[in-house]
Amino acid sequence: MVWQLDLAILTLVVITAVGSLMVKDLLGAAILFGAYSFMMCALWSIMGAVDVAFTEASVGAGVSTVLFVAAVLRTSRRTRD
Amino acid sequence: MGDLLQIIVAKYNYWIYITLMMIGLYAMIGKNNLVKKIVGMSIFQTAIILFYVSIGVKKGATIPILEHGHGEHGHSAAALIVHAVDYVNPLPHVLMLTAIVVGVATLGVALALAIKVHNRFNTLEEDEILAQIREK
Amino acid sequence: MKIIGLIIAILTGVLLLSATADFPIFGDPDSPASTHLSPYYIEKTMEDTSVPNIVTAVLADYRGYDTMYETAVIFTAGLACFIILRIFVREEPGDRLYRHVLTGVTVRVKEGAKLPPSDDFERIDTMWTPPDLIIKTVCRLLIPFIQLFGLYVIAHGHHSPGGGFQGGVILGASIILLAISTDLRTAVQRMREKVDAILCPVGVIIYAGTGALCILFGFNFLDYSALAPLLHVDPITARSHGILIVEIGVGIAVMCTMIWIYNILSSGGKYDEGL
Amino acid sequence: MSQQYPALLIIVPLLSALLISITGWINKRLCFPIAVAALAVSAYSCIGLLLRVVDEGVIVYRLGGWDPPMGIAYYVDHLNALVLVVVSVVALINLIGSKKSIELEMPGKTAPFYALYVLQVTGLLGVVVTGDAFNLYVLLEITALSGYAMLAMGDDRAPLSTLNYLYIGTIGACFYLLGVGYLYIVTGSLNMVDIANILPPLYESKAVLAAFIICLVGVWLKMAFFPLHAWLPNAYTHAPSAASSLIAPLVTKVMIYVMIRLILTVFTPEFTFNILAISEPIVWLAVVAIFMGAILALAERNLKKMLTYIIVAEVGYMVGGAWLGNRLGMTGAILHIVNDALMTLCAFMVVSNVAYKLKGYAFDDLKGLFRKMPFTMGAFVVAALSMIGVPPTCGFFSKWYLISGAIQSGQYAFMVALLFSSLVNVVLFFRVIEICFYEPFSDHHGHGHDHHAEPMAEAPVSMLVPLYVVAGGLILVGIYTSDIVNYVIEFAIPKSIL
């Protein structure tokens, strides 16, 4: 485990998390959340949790994002916060 | 200062997980939009998963899949001595697989409810919905 | 509300941070978590179950009871989405749109009426946009390989990362991809709602039924070694096979639920027109 | 077969829930019999288990045949067994009683509703029976998800209030999970008994303290303990009657069971009451909860919402009783789990009968109800007497234990709160009974007398019989309280609590 890489990904994770909550467009929030999940997945595979990373890649970054997008397109993209 | 830095470097994963968890928790309570709250909920759950996975990490250990364990000679491989220090702790991974599943299940139900609320009130902002309810 | 949220979040954070002082150092091999239970799993898995992927073995055997409920949770979520959102509309009041396949002419048919099924016309969504040829072709080419990979992930879960859950999600994602790249109707033709909704509990039944079968043989619930006489193998290999059986069950349940949830969410419960 | 009772009581409902969701697509009429049969088998196994536990003591059931710290195991002791019986019996009676109302309120979706109902019961039974801290989380989520789905089936506002419940419930469950993680990082184990064995040298550790607080807050969120109760009244009021009469009696009680389990088994009373010394502030919090629940209930003009605030007050009873730190208080809390489940069930079944005929339960709708539905209201009077705490009914006895416990530990504020709440309950229920008993205040005098001729419109027999079974149960449990305490609860509390 290279701690510099680890730290860089951890920073990115926090940035994407804050970003997905700050962005004023729900579709953007959904996509940023997908990016967040994918960063998490990278982090976990660095930590040696391959199975968890695999699951997160398919569930968190894959299906969750699709579900978000589906729900957002069914409702509205508008948000005030 | 040196001590503090030492602590931070030694435990920075725990710090990041707490930061993420606070972000998620704040979003769940403080945000006004229902879908944003759901995003916050997912971040909150993922943060906890990060914490669990961090528990399982061992320095100098590899992924929890045994070497020499392939194929039919599985039983002879059992005779090989396996040292626990060589592999990371598999138990948190197992628990977190379950937690991820629970997370996506909750997410699906929450989104379904959000769509239902939107069908009824035609908005996702909580204060606008409450205003509509009060008007009646 | 924002201020309350901030205060609560910070209070929780401080409580959790103060406790990290007593945690073992990150990655410490001598921490209690790494020395109490996990050495047993790492060292005995091969002897007990002959599965090299320790995570699979712990997931489906030592803690198989958890995993059974994990599958049940997924099933519950599918059922919950169904009961919350699904609207049964027998007669569609709105207009229907049909497109002539060869010329691309769209025909609007007034309320209630239908065109007789023919190869020349296909029904399209009301918010229809012409599908991109590249996307459609690439997805069509890709989907079989995705499904093959999903099956591989389920079957090879004993030796590599993966297992029923991940494989099921990948299989589900392949159908979801079909629904996105063409339209929901095409995907539903491949996987009818009734089939989907019945297969989902069937997956969980495969899991729970395997466990219940062990009771009939006089062993405890989910003790796969009871299946040894049935499978004509020794108890340790029986555990390995038992894990495979339940992983298949998990795969079926997860695949169907993912498709089900996506279809319901994307069509807003009507199950006719997706994104 | 009695060896397998602990497995049967979970597996049978789970498998039949799956079966119901399949048969729902083939023949809808089969769903109800399957559900009833499954819950009956489950209740039978629970009662058999309780008798076995009373005879033989703690039963350990190893799932998958693995020894406890490695695999998952059930530990069935007197406490579990008692709560198991309550959960399964309450669920069975309510299912039989609410068939008609399910068919009325959810046409076309009865099959998935039955499946979710049985899944919910499976989850609750699993939470009670399991001996593994992480397994409890998974089962908690099954309970929660099926609960959200059922609650959201109510009126127009139900989806929003359920969504709020979902947020809070997820925070609660995640806090619990986090607490388990903190325990795991310092002990390395997930088995409750194993954790309790490893913990003693770590009692001074901040991580254990944090784990305890987080777990406790998570469980409080789920049980709607006072400052964290905001989700409960709306979620339960707007729900369909069959769902609220299952969830209102059981979910909060099972959460209280989880709290007592955490105190007694995982963290041990030694740690909770002697080392932490936070029982006094928590009892004070319970006092506030009881006062606030009672006052908020007084302000309501809607029968169902009033009952939900009474639940908030009753949660205060049990939390306070459990945290008094003495034997009498703990006995009262455990006994009140049984009694309150039955009382709430009875009251909510009355509400669902009323809703079946009246389509509304605001106080204004209830006028002249005694004339219209005399049998339903008869059962309501029994429930009311029990909630107030009048001697032959069971509510009196648990309150008696709680008050004696409060006196023994010198927590007079708690005693005052209990008496105050009983008084408020008198006011609340007699107000309802008064409204129901007297004739409608008609504005046009001439037609007032015509209402005498209003025909009796009683709920169907299939709803009344289960209601009377419960009402009879309230009195029977009251009469046999001493047996329950002497043979079951006495053994459920460890000797170290005096």
Name the percent of chain D lying above pLDDT 90. Answer: 19
Angle among Cα A59, A60, A61 to the nearest 5 degrees reads 100
Whether the CA torsion C63, D137, A55, A63 is positive or negative: it is: positive
Residue A40 lies in a domain: yes
Q: What is the predicted pLDDT for the residue at B73?
A: 47
CB-based contact A51 C53, cutoff 8 Å: yes
Supply the DSSP string of A23-44, one letter for each residue.
Answer: -SBHHHHHHHHHHHHHHHHHHH
Chain A residues within 8 angstroms (CB to CB) of chain C: 1, 50-51, 53-55, 58-59, 62-63, 66-67, 69-71, 73-74
Q: Can you tell me whether residue A47 is helix, strand or coil?
A: coil
Q: What is the predicted pLDDT for the residue at B2?
A: 59
Q: How far is CA D484 from the centre of its chain?
A: 18
Residue where the block lists tokens 């204060």: B127
**Residue B79, exposed/middle/buried by CB under 10 A (0-12, 13-18, 19+)?**
exposed
Rounded Cα–Cα distance for residues D281 and B128 (Å): 38
- Tell me the per-residue pLDDT of D363-397, one tens digit each, with 9 for 90 and over: 777 777 777 788 888 888 888 888 888 888 888 88
Q: How far is CA B43 from the centre of its chain?
A: 7
Q: What is the predicted pLDDT for the residue at D449?
A: 47
Among D261, D50, D122, B55, residue whose Cα is nearest residue C65: D122
Q: What is the predicted pLDDT for the residue at B74?
A: 46
| Angle between helix D5-23 and C193-216 (nearest 10) | 160
In chain B, residues with a C-beta closer than 8 Å to the C-beta of C28 are 58-59
Rounded Cα–Cα distance for residues C160 and C153 (Å): 8
Rounded Cα–Cα distance for residues D395 and D389 (Å): 5
Backbone angles phi, psi at A78, to 5 degrees: -70, 140
What is the β-pairing status of strands C106-109 and C121-124?
unpaired
**Residue D498, exposed/middle/buried by CB under 10 A (0-12, 13-18, 19+)?**
exposed
In chain D, residues with a C-beta closer than 8 Å to the C-beta of C64 are 63-64
What is the count of residue pairs from A and C with beta carbons less than 8 Å apart? 48
**Of D411 and A38, which is predicted with more confidence?**
A38
CB-based contact C266 A73, cutoff 8 Å: yes
* Contact indicator for A43, A6 with CB cutoff of 8 Å: yes
Q: What is the predicted pLDDT for the residue at B10?
A: 66
Measured between its terminal Cα atoms, the distance across chain C in Å is 34
Q: How many CA atoms lie within 13 A of A74 on its CB side?
A: 30
Rounded Cα–Cα distance for residues D222 and C48 (Å): 39
Rounded Cα–Cα distance for residues B105 and D313 (Å): 32
Give CA separation, C220 vs C210, C215, D303, in Å: 11, 6, 47
Give CA separation, D387 vs C193, D314, D359, D398, D473, in Å: 47, 9, 25, 11, 14
Comparing alpha-carbon positions, the chain B residue that sits nearest to D181 is B52
Give CA separation, D167 vs A66, B39, C109, C128, D497, in Å: 21, 11, 44, 35, 36
Q: What is the predicted pLDDT for the residue at C262?
A: 92
Question: Is residue D447 very low, low, confident or very high in pLDDT (cuts 50, 70, 90)?
Answer: very low
pLDDT reading at C176 higher than 80: yes
**Of D114 and D374, which is predicted with more confidence?**
D114
CA dihedral B85, B87, B89, B91 (to 10 degrees): -130
Taking only residues 74 to 133 of chain B, the set having a beta carbon closer than 8 angstroms to any beta carbon of chain A reads 88, 92-93, 96-97, 100-101, 103-104, 107-108, 111, 114-115, 118, 123-125
* Contact indicator for D360, D495 with CB cutoff of 8 Å: no
pLDDT reading at C255 higher than 90: yes
DSSP H helical ranges for C110-234? 133-155, 164-181, 184-190, 193-216, 228-231
Backbone angles phi, psi at D75, to 5 degrees: -115, 110
Mean pLDDT of D194-206: 85
* Residue D355, token pair as written in the block: 């809703």
Residue A35 lies in a domain: yes
Mean pLDDT of C257-266: 91
Rounded Cα–Cα distance for residues D199 and D90 (Å): 36
How is residue D201 annotated by DSSP? G
Question: Is residue B40 very low, low, confident or very high in pLDDT (cuts 50, 70, 90)?
Answer: very high
pLDDT reading at C98 higher than 50: yes
pLDDT reading at D129 higher than 70: yes
Mean pLDDT of C153-175: 89
Residue A14 lies in a domain: no
Angle among Cα B99, A70, C124 to the nearest 5 degrees reads 145
Least confident of C5-14, C16-25, C67-76, D383-392: C16-25
Rounded Cα–Cα distance for residues C208 and C68 (Å): 7
pLDDT reading at D301 higher than 90: no
CB-based contact A73 C275, cutoff 8 Å: yes
* Residue C193, token pair as written in the block: 């709602």
- Tell me the per-residue pLDDT of C187-243, one tens digit each, with 9 for 90 and over: 888 888 889 989 999 999 999 888 888 888 888 888 888 888 888 888 888 888 888
pTM strictly above 0.90: yes
C118: left (phi over 0), alpha (psi -120 to 50) or beta: beta
* Contact indicator for D49, D78 with CB cutoff of 8 Å: no
Supply the DSSP string of D83-99, one letter for each residue.
Answer: HHHHHHHHHHHHHHHTH
In chain D, residues with a C-beta closer than 8 Å to the C-beta of C209 are 15
Supply the DSSP string of D19-72, one letter for each residue.
Answer: HHHHHTTT-GGGHHHHHHHHHHHHHHHHHHHHHHHHHH--EEEEGGG--TTTS-
Rounded Cα–Cα distance for residues C142 and D492 (Å): 60
Among D145, D291, D177, residue whose Cα is nearest residue D227: D291
Rounded Cα–Cα distance for residues D341 and D413 (Å): 25
Comparing alpha-carbon positions, the chain C residue that sits nearest to A73 is C275
Domain boundaries, chain C: 49-89+130-266
Measure A18 CA to nearest chain B CA, in Å.
Answer: 7
Comparing alpha-carbon positions, the chain A residue that sits nearest to C158 is A51
Q: Which fold has domain B2-135?
A: Helix Hairpins (1.10.287)
Which of D66, D116, D122 is opposite residue C62, by nearest beta carbon?
Answer: D66
- Tell me the per-residue pLDDT of B54-92, one tens digit each, with 9 for 90 and over: 888 888 778 888 876 544 444 544 456 777 778 888 888
**Of B99 and C99, which is predicted with more confidence?**
B99
Give the residue from A58, A69, A80 with the most C CB atoms within 10 Å of its CB, the best one to mutate: A58
Q: Is the ipTM of this complex over 0.90?
A: yes
Q: Which residues of chain A have pLDDT under 70?
A: 1-2
CA dihedral C136, C141, C145, C147 (to 10 degrees): 40
Give CA separation, D45 vs D9, D48, D135, in Å: 6, 5, 21
**Of D257 and B70, which is predicted with more confidence?**
D257
Look over chain D and give the mean of its residue pLDDT values, rounded to a whole number.
86
Measure A24 CA to nearest chain B CA, in Å.
Answer: 10
How is residue C217 annotated by DSSP? T
Contact flag for C and D (3+ C-beta pairs < 8 Å): yes
Give the residue from B80, B94, B100 with the most C CB atoms within 10 Å of its CB, the best one to mutate: B94
In chain D, residues with a C-beta closer than 8 Å to the C-beta of B133 are 157, 160
Rounded Cα–Cα distance for residues D317 and D340 (Å): 10
In chain C, residues with a C-beta closer than 8 Å to the C-beta of B30 are 1-2, 4-6
Residue where the block lists tokens 């302000």: D299
Residue A69 lies in a domain: yes
Element housing C114 (H / E): none
